[in-house]
Structures are given as structure tokens and as C-alpha cells.
Chain A
Amino acid sequence: MKSTVKNPKLSLVDWWKYRKKKDLNRSKGGNFLVFLMLLLLGSFMALPVVYSIVQAFKPMEEIFIFPPRFTVQNPTVKNFKLIGQLAGSLWVPFSRYLFNSVFVSFAGTLGNVLISSMAAYPLAKHDFVGKKVLFKLVTLSLLFTGGVIELPRYIVMTKLHIINTYWALILPTIASSMGLFLMKQFMEQLNNSLLEAARIDGMNEFQIFIRIVMPLVKPAWLTQIIFAFQGVWSMTGGNYIYREDLKLFPTALSQIQSGGIARAGVAAAASLVMLIPPVIMFLITQSSIMETMAHAGIKE
């Protein structure tokens, strides 16, 4: 219907009619009400985000004026420079924290995407004994993403002697259930006849998975990448890692932030730096995310 606007034969009157049709069941009063609510709820959501960006650019003297201002008078990048300076004074070189974070994020995300899509394929497209039970377990474990099982997980990891290694951070990320869940729901809508044709051509299930299924579910693995990455990137690893040289980037930043109220500006700048990689990834993958999440429902 959008293209009709460009149609030269269409008179302005007709266009008005079409336009009205697009706004079906949308009254002016309702629009205003929705706008008002959106403004109210939206500013509740957005203002703290804006405020933390503003804080990062405030010079020290502006952070401590009364009454505090929501805006910045003389924006400065001093806070960002200070991160670098303070980072130099840490016991372990700053680049080491950064390397740890990048390495763990990369390995965890890659492993998660590969291994959970490998498991998602039979769950979505094969018929075998125990399939329903396994998927039910995964769905239930979505409940425990909030850290409820962190303590017993720590006990299990101690028994496996992987505390204080990269494995303690990478392996749980790979085993997270969110990625498998999304991937399985997305794969279910793939066309069966395509897989059947490949089987007739003599491909085995692994070849089908690599050559046919994986290229078709690109939106789903892009989505999985953002979820997995977001999870690892913000992880402090505090519970599983005690060796200073294996700690992650957020730990280094929180050490800088822990300098107290005098470092308020630096702390805000550090949070902003932390936010940049996931935001960039979110913007790149957001249309894939929408496509994937459309299938994310739980079917009873």
C-alpha cells in the first residue's frame, strides 16, 4: 500500500483515503494519549541513560555544584583521558584485562553459537526418543538465568578444578540455554523438503547441518551472538576468578570506579566505554534480532 503514493495516476483524494486506511482504528485523542504515556514512560527509561552520558563529559567542578544540573556547561574529555592514566597505575597491565575480556567473549560467543546450534538442529527437525524432555529442561532452565544457581555451580566447578582458569568463564557461557532456545524455535520454520532433498542427495546429518541449515539461520546466530556477547562482556567473573591477571575488563573498570566520590566522572566515562561494543553490535544485528525474536515464543 505504501507504493501507491508514488503512483502518478492516483489523485490526492485517493491518496488521502489510503492514508486514512493505514491509520485504521487510530483516533487523534488516542494518539495524543499514547504520545503522553510514551513521553512519560520513555523519559523514565531514557533520562538515566542520558544522564550517565552527560556525567561522563562533566568536568570535576560541575559534578559537585548545588543544585546539580542535568546538562553539561563545559564538556570535557578529561574523564576519558583519566581512565587511561589510572589504568596505567594498576598492578596488572590494563591491556591484560582487555585481552582477557576480548578472548573470553570471543571464545564463549563462538562456542555458544556453534555448539548450541548443533544441538538445536536435531531438537527442531529430528524425531527421537527423549526429545521433548530435553527441550523441556532447556525451557525450564531459562528461569535460572538470573544467577540463582551461581553458588552450586561454583561448588561443581571447584570439584572440576577449573576455578581460576579461562574455562570457568567460557564453558558456562557455551552451556547457556537462551541461545539454544532461540535457535531451536527459529529452525523449526525451515522447510522440511529442503532437508529431505539433501538426504536423498546422500548428505549425512552433519553435512546438512553445516551446509544447509547454518547458512539459512543466519539471523538466529547473529541474535545469539549479541545475547552471548552481552552476557560475557558484562561478566565480572568475580566468583570464579581470583587470580588478578585473569580478571576481566569490568573488574579493572570497577577498581577505577572504587576510588570513591572523587572519581564520579571517571566512573561514568568508564561505564560509557563499556557500553560501546554491545551497542555497536546491537545496531548491526537489530533487524536479525527482530526476525529471530518473532519465533521466540513458548509453545505449550
Chain B
Amino acid sequence: MKEQLYSIWRIFFPKRVKSTLTLWQQIKRSKSSYLLLAPYFILFTIFTIIPVFAAIGLSFTYFNMLNVPEFIGLSNYKALFLNDEIFLLAIKNTIVFAVITGPIGYFLCFILAWFINDLPKPVRTFMTLVFYAPSLSGNMYMIWQYIFSDDQYGLVNSFLMTFANIGIIDDPIKWFTDEKYVMTALIIVQFWLSLGAGFLAFMAGFKVVDKTLYEAGAIDGVKNRFQELIYLTLPQMKQQLLFGAVMQISSSFAVGQISISLAGFPSTNYAAHTIMTHIYDYGNVRYDMGYACAVATILLLVMLLVNKVIQSVLVEKNY
């Protein structure tokens, strides 16, 4: 802790080993650097940093966009955790999404990238495109409406009903409206959407791994492709793995749009309600911005925390 604080301190006040310039002189000397940085960081501040702090600040207020925000202390947070059962349900669902689709989606990205890495180039390009297509298109996931359709015209229902001429089920399952099935159906859709930028980074990572290492490894007793993957490839792909983890956290905690589009809003008995749909509920529907910001702040903190934990695990494990 002390060391970390010290290193943060040192970022702002670097040790004056090489130069005897004061801080101001150093800043003045790199004037052109700051000029190049300025346009981006002004926009970045307005559209990313200020919103984050605005969310934190407004979470302590009552704000309906019309009146001036009114400071109400921790009331929003108290209400969230003590009186808002739907929020607790949203947390539960978000955690289910994150815990299931996060790691498995990450694994799916990795294993598919690994599989198609061995294929010849035209086939590999084609496969990459097919796997990446769900992320490439904005709303292709709407096709799942027809796959998991409520009536017997849906692919899954008709398959289950006509299976082996008798069928496993008699009546069509209402995949997206029955609270028993909606989470399962949405998790499957989320898996299908999980091959994004992380997948591309893994694909590229496999290509830059030092190939001579494999021959050396074979001499040293690496016997099959799994040993090769674990002992030789993974340690070299640490950076891509970290990047993929960030991308995976960012998508698996922010499940919301697909729930609204496929299961409707609100979903039956809030069975598919997530933190993101809770923000949508209070922000876009009820206009209780303070409350919505409190929800957003909690989600932001959870994501930062999970990111911190995963990064330190991946760094320590050395891959």
C-alpha cells in the first residue's frame, strides 16, 4: 500500500535524477506533447471523466432534470439496499450473467481463436468473419427472437416438439416470457455475442508467438498441443489475455440492451432485470436521475474492483 502510494506520488513528482529542472520547467519543455494531447483529452474529460464524477456526485442528490439537484446524503443508497427488492434482484441477475457469461465467454474466445489459428489462411479469415459477425452487426441478435420464439414456429420449440416423432415437450416453451427460462435463453444469446475485440486480440496474439520455441519445446519434452498451449503459448500471450479480460468485464457486466430487446421491458416479474435495465428504468422512464446515478455508481465500482482483482490474478500467475 505504502509503496503504491509512493509510486503514485512519484508519477506527479518524478525524482530529479537526470535533470535539475523544476516541475514547471519540465511541463514547459514538453509543451508540444501537451498540445498534441489536448484535443483528445478535452473531449475525453467531457464525455468520460466528467460523466463518471457526475454520476458519483448526483448519486447523493434528488435530481429530476428540471429542478436543481437537491442534496439528500446517502438516502439513495439506503433506499437501494434496504427498500428496493427489484434492485437486489437486478444485482443477482447481473452477477449470474457476469459469473457465467464472463469466464465462459472468455474461454470461448480463447479456445475458438486457438482452434482456427491452425487452419490455412482463407478458411481462417472466413471463420474469423463468421465468428465476429455478431459483434460486427448492431442488431443481428434479434434473430434469436425467431430461434427462441414463444410459439411452435420457433426453431428450438419445434425441434423439441417433433424430436423423434413424439417430442420432448407437448406445449411450446415461452423462452423469453416465462420467468423460468428467460435467463437461460438470454445467457445463451450473450455467449453468442461474446466474441468481440478480445477474440481478435487472441487471434493476433497466437500469430505473433515465437514459433521457434515450439521446436525447442518439442526437444525438451513437450508432447502434445495442450502442453504446448499451457507451457509455451500462454506465457507469451499475457498482454492479450489482460486486454481480453478487460473487454470481457466491460461486456458481461453491462448486459441490458439484449434483455430489453428480447425479453421486453420490464421482463415478466423482472426475471431478466439487470443493473443496466434498472438504470434505464430510473433514468429513461422515471426520470429519477439521482437514484439512477447511484445504481450506475455501484456498477462502476463493481467493475473497477473486479478488473483490479482479475488483473492482479493474471499478472501474478504469470500468464
Contacts and interface: CB of A to CB of B under 8 A. Distances in A.
Contacts of B115: 34, 37-38, 41
Contact of B112 (A30, A42, A297): A42
Contacts, number: 305
A144 interface: yes
A95 interface: no
Q: Among the interface residues B44, B205, B240, which one has the most CB atoms of the partner chain A within 10 A?
A: B44
B47 A147 contact: no
Contact of B33 (A122, A264, A291): A122
A129 B23 contact: yes
Interface stretch (B73-81, B179-187, B247-255): B247-255
Contacts of B6: none
Q: Which residue among A130, A209, A264 has the maximum number of chain B CB atoms within 10 Å of its CB?
A: A130
Nearest to A149: B51
Contact of B204 (A52, A152, A293, A300): A293
Q: How large is the interface on A (under 10, 10 to 19, 20 to 34, 35 or more residues)?
A: 35 or more
Contacts of A180: 40
B197 interface: yes
Contacts of B191: 44
Interface in A271-300: 271, 274-275, 278-279, 282-283, 286, 289-294, 296-300
B71 interface: no
A128 B30 contact: yes
B140 A115 contact: no
A152 B52 contact: yes
A70 interface: yes
Interface string B217-261: 110001111111000000001111111001101110110110000
Given A24-B214, A126-B30, A52 B140 contact: yes
Interface in A164-180: 171-172, 174-175, 177-178, 180
A126 to B, nearest CB: 4
Contact of A160 (B23, B46, B139, B201): B46
A234 interface: yes
Q: Which of B35, B37, B203, B299 has the most CB of A within 10 A?
A: B37
A151 B296 contact: yes
A159 to B, nearest CB: 9
Contact of B192 (A44, A123, A204): A44
B57 to A, nearest CB: 9
Q: Which of A67, A239, A298 has the most CB of B within 10 A?
A: A298
Contact of A172 (B47, B155, B223, B228): B47
B131 A45 contact: yes
Nearest to B137: A275
A174 B37 CA distance: 13
Contact of A118 (B27, B39, B44, B138): B39
A127 interface: yes
Given A27-B224, A115-B39, A257-B142, A68 B154 contact: yes
Given A42-B127, A278-B137, A293-B200, A144 B300 contact: yes
A76 interface: no
Contacts of B271: none
A268 interface: yes
Interface residues of B, number: 116
A291 B47 contact: no
B65 interface: yes
A147 B204 contact: no
Contacts of A234: 137-139
Contacts of B307: 140, 143
A59 to B, nearest CB: 15
A280 B62 CA distance: 48
B86 interface: no
B296 A149 contact: yes
Contacts of A119: 36-37, 39-41
Interface of A: 21, 24-27, 30, 34, 37-38, 41-42, 44-46, 48-49, 51-52, 55, 63-64, 66-68, 70, 115-116, 118-119, 121-123, 126-130, 132-134, 137-149, 151-156, 158, 160, 171-172, 174-175, 177-178, 180, 204-206, 209, 227, 230, 233-236, 239, 250, 254, 257, 264, 267-268, 271, 274-275, 278-279, 282-283, 286, 289-294, 296-300
13 contacts: A25-B223, A26-B118, A34-B118, A41-B112, A41-B115, A68-B155, A119-B37, A174-B40, A175-B40, A234-B137, A293-B200, A296-B239, A298-B239
Given A41-B111, A118-B37, 11 more contacts: A25-B228, A30-B225, A34-B118, A67-B159, A128-B34, A142-B247, A148-B303, A152-B52, A175-B40, A291-B204, A294-B208
